[in-house]
Amino acid sequence: MSIQDYVNLLVIGLSQGCAYGLVALGFVLIYKATEIVNFSHGEFMMLGAFAAIPLIALFGFWLGIVCALLAMAVVGFLLDALVMRRIIGESQASVFIVTVAFGFIFRALAGMIWGWQPVPFPAYLTGSIEFAGFTLQANRLAVVAVTLVLCGSLFLFFSRSKLGIAMQAISQNQLAAYYMAIPVKRVVSLVWALGAVIAAVAGIFNAPFTQVDTSIGALGLKALAGAIIGGFGSIPGALLGCLLIGVIEPFADLFVPTLKGVSAYVIMLAVLFVRPDGLIAQTFAKKV
């Protein structure tokens, strides 16, 4: 293999890791606000990509994407407002079953509406970019750039906006946030909406590489593995864990073909043996 081949694998790994990282952000945001692990979260990625295809054909590329993201925000908001809010206080097993069931429901709905065969996604960037003597795929770099911009936007949102600060307060203590006159239920539903939008961004910008079918939501499991590697509950940790999986995965698939498709979970087990709390552990001291 030439150096160019290794660089290509690295760029592929970075773009995959960024896609996993965007999905993992939604996992972590919802978990921090509600202590619920949404096992259907990867299906937001799938639904967002499917929804974007007809909307792009109807309104054009960028306006179609905006409409698809707004649609996914409504789906996330309603899922919490109509269902998840009503099972607060139930056992973790019940919550797990409900979120898994919604994953099956979303896949079935997508199959009935758009069919069960892979659907090609409109290419948003074509060609390549020459950098430092290497040829890099423009659409792969676009995924990395979108992730960086989105992460920067989220940092500003959580640190500067009233709604972002309210979300942080709820993630720390819902009762205290309620006593501070924060509309907890509405803000939690907005967290679900935000998580759905971020996952849809990952699905839309990753779709040209994989095509769109009802099985791409399974990438959410790799995103969950990345979040666990980084330290579940840590946003920087989730991104770090997903980038680690994304970069290692194409090299592992090439050099250790027996691990193809499962290398992410092998990495997760290896990290947890060394650091059970993840790379960036989240510890909170309770005050009495």
- The overall average pLDDT reported for the chain is 86
Residue 286, pLDDT above cutoff 50: no
The pLDDT of residue 44 is 94
The continuous run of DSSP H or E covering 66 comes out as helix 61-82
Structure token digits, residue 169 = 């307060």
Name which residue leads in pLDDT, 138 or 255.
Answer: 255
Residue 41, pLDDT above cutoff 70: yes
**pTM across the whole model:** 0.88
CB 76 within 8 A of CB 145: no
The pLDDT of residue 284 is 45
For residue 132, name the pLDDT band (cuts at 50, 70, 90). low
Structure token digits, residue 63 = 């306006």
The continuous run of DSSP H or E covering 134 comes out as strand 134-137
Rounded Cα gap, residues 255 and 196, in angstroms: 35
Taking only the tens place, the pLDDT of each residue in 3-19 is: 878 888 888 889 889 98
Helix orientation angle between 3-34 and 235-255, rounded to the nearest 10 degrees:
140
- Average confidence (pLDDT) over 71-75: 95
Taking only the tens place, the pLDDT of each residue in 172-208 is: 888 888 888 889 889 999 999 999 999 999 889 888 8
Rounded Cα gap, residues 99 and 39, in angstroms: 5
Cα 66 to chain centroid distance, Å, stands at: 17
The pLDDT of residue 88 is 79
Taking only the tens place, the pLDDT of each residue in 161-174 is: 888 888 888 888 88
